[in-house]
Amino acid sequence: MTTFTKLSDEETPTISVHASRRLSKINPNIYSGFTEHMGRCIYGGIYDPGNPLSDENGFRKDVLEALKELNIPVVRYPGGNFTATYHWLDGVGPKDQRPARPELAWLGTETNQFGTDEFLKWCEMLGAEPYLCLNFGTGTLDEAMAWVEYCNGTGNTYYANLRRKNGREKPYNVKYWALGNETWGPWQIEQMTKEAYAHKAYQWAKALKLLDPNIILILCGQDGTASWDYYTLKHCLQPTKATLNSNPVPLIDMHSIHMYTASSKHLPNATAPLAAERAIEITSSLIDLARIENGISPDEPRPTICFDEWNVWDPVRAEGSKGAEESYTLSDALAVGVFLNVFVRKSKDLGMACIAQSVNVISPLMTTRDGIVKQTTWWPLWLFSRFMRGWTIGAHVSCGAYEGETSPAWLRGVKDTPWLDVSAALGDDGFVNVVVVNIHETKDFKTNVKGVSGGPVTVYTVTGADVSATNMKGKQEVGVQESTWDGKGSYVFPKHSLTLLRWKAE
């Protein structure tokens, strides 16, 4: 974690890094992705048969190669809101026999030319584990169990044999399964009350864990700050002795929360992801409260938080039914940097985080017919996924703070919003990595950096001419610049920038 002391803007900031103070392990799954049948994410994004840039499977080779740079550990699929009317059997078997269906989440037609086997093969080529989301709208428990059997079954059973018939002999061993998506939302097919959802999720979890006790089940939360989160955790986190299994295992392994942030004004935009930090803290407390109230033994594993949708997204600016293609700015890149700082600082509670989405739809990576574009938000994600691994370590920041309006408005009353947003990690390679996001639009900060073991310090900087700089104008206005610093005295963090400092620990 990073602690903070507020100074006046006239005082010199200080960042103190404590490499020997390991606080919690960073789960690599915080750098996970998300693909949904929405806009051009699947069709024209990861799957584009007939394009010269695609392989024999129809997979865009340039997209695969770019995403491999991020070392993505897990990819969530097939949604998202899409899951609420998705029947997985439509998307397996011979493609000329797959039915086209009306798609109600984003008001299109789903051809089902890309389905379970295509996605799982794509994940293997990417080197990522799949994470499948179950249909809690029009789906049934029988259908959900059949999907698990199709993916993971090893016996001489119907759906395991159907997988074999479709060309896959060995099981996929899909580990992660979500118990629905945003079922609390009025935009959902079969929107539920928290009482109805909790009852259904618990019953489904019992059956699914009986079928395959090795799977990891993710409960559908809201944003971590809602009564929905409290009620579903209280009802569904039960002692293992309450289950049907003679060798009981916990039914719920993770609790999901979602949050998108955006503002047309730079400072509310850049500080908005700090709401995710408070949401994680609240959710963590609700998990503890449920365990205490339900008398769960401390010997039983504590669920972690699955922040499986996050990003900068203004649904008015980039409407979902029109493809949700955002044109990101430097301001948005700094917001993504703050999101990622939050995830590193709160690594004790996070088991996974999935940026929504991986290609084209509110994404750092865009495709054209002839190639790809790496948006401004690509570069913070690239730096974090490359370097911010290992252990979260202690850091303290003393600096001035932004004191204006925030988005959401409630953030102003619950979190400090310092000009310098910081996280620190110690990699397994023995290097300290510190990310500093200077959100100030006009002011550089000469800062005392303590804890550096001596030079040289490698410096990676993401910035641009101004906060409106974008990479969607046919040229790269925002990228990564590499330099060195001797590690002595103070360092100047430029206005509207993200800086990663990297040095060998003593």
Q: For residues 50 and 390, what is the distance between their CA atoms, to the nearest angstrom?
A: 41
| φ, ψ of residue 378 in degrees (nearest 5) | -60, -40
- Regarding whether 179 and 39 lie in a shared domain, the answer is yes
* Together in a domain, 369 and 476: no
Give, in degrees to the nearest 5, the angle at Cα 462 between 458 and 465. 135
User: Nearest-CA neighbor of 467 among 445, 497, 499?
Assistant: 497
- If we measure between CA atoms, which residue out of 500, 377, 498 comes closest to residue 438? 498
d(CA 181, CA 80): 6
Res 392: pLDDT: 98
* Amino acid residing at 387: F
Do 258 and 405 fall within a single domain? no
Work out the pLDDT band at 1, boundaries 50, 70, 90: confident
For range 202-210, the mean pLDDT: 95
Q: Are 464 and 330 in contact (CB under 8 A)?
A: yes
The parent domain of residue 311 ranges over 26-389
Q: Residue 430 is part of a domain; what is its CATH number? A: 2.60.40.1180
What are the two backbone dihedrals, phi and then psi, of residue 210, each rounded to the nearest 5 degrees? Answer: -65, -40
Does a structural domain hold residue 21? Answer: no
In a domain, 39, yes or no: yes
Cβ–Cβ under 8 Å, residues 399 and 420: yes
Residue 461 domain flag: yes
Return the pLDDT at 454. 76
| Beta strand ranges found along 122-245 (DSSP E) | 129-133, 176-178, 216-220
**Structural contact between residues 15 and 396, judged by C-beta atoms closer than 8 angstroms:** yes
Residue 69 is a catalytic residue:
no
Based on the structure, what is the number of domains in the chain?
2
Q: Are residues 302 and 405 in the same domain?
A: no
Identified catalytic residue from 110, 129, 182, 277: 182
Cis preceding linkage at 357, omega within 30: yes
Establish if 338 belongs to a structural domain: yes
* pLDDT at residue number 241: 74
Q: Out of 149, 277, 309, 326, pick the active-site residue.
A: 309
Q: Are residues 367 and 420 in the same domain?
A: no
Question: pLDDT value at position 443?
Answer: 98
Q: Which residues of 36-61 are buried (b: 16+ CB within 10 A; e: fewer)?
A: bbbbbbbbbbbbbeebebbeeebbbe
Confirm whether 166 is domain-assigned.
yes
Same domain, 424 and 361: no
Residue 453: predicted pLDDT:
82
Average pLDDT of the chain?
A: 96
Q: Are residues 75 and 156 in the same domain?
A: yes
- Looking at the fold, whether 470 and 351 belong to one and the same domain comes out as no
Express as a percent the part of the chain with pLDDT over 90.
Answer: 96
* In a shared domain, residues 206 and 96: yes
Q: Which of 355, 389, 423 is the last residue of a domain?
A: 389
Q: What is the mean pLDDT of residues 431-444?
A: 98
What SS3 class is residue 327? coil
Q: Which of 329, 361, 389 corresponds to the end of one domain?
A: 389
- Model confidence, pTM: 0.97
Task: Give the pLDDT of residue 223.
Answer: 97
Q: Are residues 227 and 349 located together in one domain of the fold?
A: yes
Based on the residue annotation, tell me whether 281 is a catalytic residue of this protein.
no
State which of 389, 406, 435 marks the end of a domain.
389
Question: Has residue 455 got a pLDDT over 90?
Answer: no
329 found inside a domain: yes
Q: What one-letter code names the amino acid at 301?
A: P
Residues 302 and 433 in one domain: no
pLDDT tens digit sequence for 310-348 = 999 999 999 998 999 999 999 999 999 999 999 999 999
Q: Give the E-state strand segments of 8-81 in sequence order.
A: 14-25, 33-34, 74-77
Assess whether 354 and 456 both reside in one domain.
no
Q: Which of 27, 92, 4 is nearest to 308 (CA)?
A: 27
pLDDT tens for residues 68-113? 999 999 999 999 999 999 999 999 999 999 999 999 999 999 999 9
Scan for tokens 């099981």, then name that residue. Answer: 171
Domain CATH for 297: 3.20.20.80
Residue 20 lies in a domain: no
Predicted pLDDT of residue 243:
60
Measured CA to CA in angstroms, residue 11 lies from 5, 7, 15, 305, 404 at distances of 12, 6, 13, 38, 19
Does residue 230 belong to any structural domain of this protein? yes
